[in-house]
Amino acid sequence: MERAQIGPGLYACLQDGAKFGESNSGYIDHGGGLVVDTFYDLPRTRAMMASFAEVAPSATAPRRLVNTHHNGDHCWGNQVLAEVGTEIIGHELCAQYFLTEASPELFVSLQDAKSLPPHLAGFASSLRGFDFRDITLTPPTTLLHDEMVLDLDGTPVELRYLGPAHTAGDTVVWLPDERVVFTGDLLFNECTPIGWEGTFAGWIAALDAMISWEPEVVVPGHGPVCGTEALVGMRDYLAYVQLEATAHHAAGRSVVDAAARIDLGPFARWAEPERLASQLHRAYRELDGLPWDTKVDTKAVFADMAAIHQARNR
């Protein structure tokens, strides 16, 4: 992981965003310290906090932690901060969905399994760099509905709810004076986005909102620190996939067949293009008239991702 200073008292901790589960975090060294997201496991979260403490002593026991959403790669390390008394903040839907995902214990069993079907074998392989032992899921207890404004010793920090988009409870951390935004997984930079609850319209509207703020520094949920051009690129990707999916759905094509026919153009260089399956499943659910909070068939999504990866790498 890499620590980057992005402003006075502002830091990002960056992992290899091209790899599954390797997310980013942030630290604001004002008002007792505010952390933006933890990592997928306890060792990585402890290493992240140790890195922040090298430049910001308050990081040893930060006053606040904000979870941008409920996916494990952004919050399964929460207990590390809870143990030192950190207040954990998140959207009410983040807290509601927190315990609905696959458990850390299931991921341990996948890592230890001797034989798995192809789609699970690939997923299990992507988890091997993590240590999911001893995790106690620790959801936010201070909840916001639409917006919360924090005063960190004169530094205003706005927590803005922009979901449902990538997930039900997507919240971004916006510093209007510094013009810095921590997007959570509303932005994947240089890697193909994957999404769960929510809609295309909601996700595109969230990206448009952040673009309108004219941030100077954007810290994505995955990938390198960037500017507004990455927000625009992801918005364009989602709009393009939605348009293509509409045509293939009308033609009665499967997700895998549709993916084989979609020319990704400039988006093909993004890491893990097979994640297109996630967006096609989302588009097909919408086109079938299902609500945004319909339970995602993760088995089907990962099976189709594996099939698309295999087809593209023959």
* Domains contained in the chain, number: 1
Q: Are 74 and 81 in contact (CB under 8 A)?
A: no
Helix (H, G, I), strand (E, B) or coil at 149: strand
Has residue 189 been placed in a domain?
A: yes
Q: Are 244 and 258 in contact (CB under 8 A)?
A: yes
Tens digits of residue pLDDT in 17-72: 667 899 999 999 999 999 999 999 999 999 999 999 999 988 999 999 999 999 99
Q: Are 193 and 238 in contact (CB under 8 A)?
A: yes
Q: Which two tokens stand for residue 67?
A: 């979870």
| CATH code of the domain in which 185 resides | 3.60.15.10
Has residue 17 been placed in a domain?
A: yes
Rg (CA), the chain: 19
State residue 54's pLDDT score: 96
Has residue 138 been placed in a domain?
A: no
Q: Are 191 and 222 in contact (CB under 8 A)?
A: yes
Half-sphere exposure of 265 (CA within 13 A, CB side): 6
Has residue 139 been placed in a domain?
A: no
Peptide bond into 164 cis (omega under 30): yes
What is the dihedral angle through the alpha carbons of 123, 127, 128, 129, rounded to the nearest 10 degrees?
A: 140
Q: Which two tokens stand for residue 216?
A: 């100077």
DSSP codes joined into one string, 212-279: HT--SEEEEEES--B-HHHHHHHHHHHHHHHHHHHHHHHTT--HHHHHHH---GGGGGSB-GGGHHHH
Has residue 136 been placed in a domain?
A: no
State residue 17's pLDDT score: 66
Regions of the chain short of the pLDDT cut 70? 17-18
Has residue 281 been placed in a domain?
A: yes
Range of the domain at 271: 2-130+145-312
Has residue 60 been placed in a domain?
A: yes
Has residue 109 been placed in a domain?
A: yes
